[in-house]
Amino acid sequence: MKRIPVWYAVVLLVGAALYVICRFYPADLPPWLPWEFSWPEYLATVLTFIWFARGLKALPADRRPPLWRLICFVAGVASFYIVLQTRIDYYAQHMFFVHRWAHFVLHHAGAFLIAMGMSGPVLWAGTPDFLRPVIKSRPVQATLNLLQHPVMAPFLFVGLLYFWLIPQIHTRVMLDANLYELMNWTMALNGVMFWSLILDSRPRPPARLGFLMRLLLIIVIELPQMVLGAILSLSMRDFYPVYTICGRVLDMTALNDQHYGGLIIWLPGTLTSFAAFITVLVNLRLHEEKHEREAV
């Protein structure tokens, strides 16, 4: 336990160094360093990895998730950092289709991998003692129960996607650094919460939802995403002139940029839902087979 403060001091020193060089020398940095350093995004990523490593060390081998799930979790968290704290974020601020790829990672692919990792017990084992009462407190648990309610969860998942793409709101957000960061946080957290609800391999209980309800929620979220993607990819009107105002960094017309962004919402989003549907069916079948073996 005496070594923990040393790790935190190192984290703060590295973060301070990144902040200084990103603040004063942004144009001289390689693409894998942040264009605009964010303390919350940096700390969330680094502390997650530290607590994850501590949890792996603390848990006995028989209580750890399989290696492939651990790899999924690490890859998912890393993908968040890559789209938010590398030069990709700069391109996402100047190209609509890159922005949609970044949000596809935050809301779908990366969140999907984190959920598949099912590493909650590992993180809990590595979480500092002073944070555990906060996480288990009644207000926090009540908030989680509300956000993962079978009615609220799909509403938020689709609602946030639509809300941040309302043209007037999107323009305001892309011109305000604080709102831009808030948008990214809500998409990432909502994605993790939704896919964790859907991809839990356990039956109910202890999982929050039964397998059939999870399949229904996947269907519920899919159609609105397809509609939004189709509108943006087929429309001949530029809904997001903010990218023209800020200046596109790639040689592409506004409509082509918007069309590609709409296709990203439409096609990869549909494939993610299809993968989730198959995963739930596999988990359902594995549970039925286990139940049949125990009944013999």
User: 231-278 pLDDT, tens per residue?
Assistant: 999 999 999 999 998 899 999 999 999 999 999 999 999 999 999 999
Q: Supply the pTM of this predicted model.
A: 0.93
Can you say whether the dihedral through the CA atoms of 153, 156, 162, 164 is positive or negative? negative
**Omega before 139 within 30 of 0, i.e. cis:** no
How many other CB atoms sit within 10 Å of the CB of residue 125? Answer: 19
How far apart, in whole angstroms, are the C-alpha atoms of residue 63 and residue 93? 42
Return the H-helix or E-strand segment holding 272.
helix 254-295
pLDDT of residue 4: 55
How far apart, in whole angstroms, are the C-alpha atoms of residue 14 and residue 17? 5
Degrees, nearest 5: CA angle 118-89-53: 30
Q: Tokens 């989730």 — which residue?
A: 276
Return the H-helix or E-strand segment holding 33.
none
How far apart, in whole angstroms, are the C-alpha atoms of residue 174 and residue 246? 9
Cβ–Cβ under 8 Å, residues 240 and 96? yes
What are 117-163's pLDDT values in tens digits? 999 999 999 999 889 999 999 999 999 999 999 999 999 999 999 99
pLDDT of residue 293: 79
Phi, psi angles (nearest 5°) of residue 214: -65, -40
How far apart, in whole angstroms, are the C-alpha atoms of residue 181 and residue 44? 13
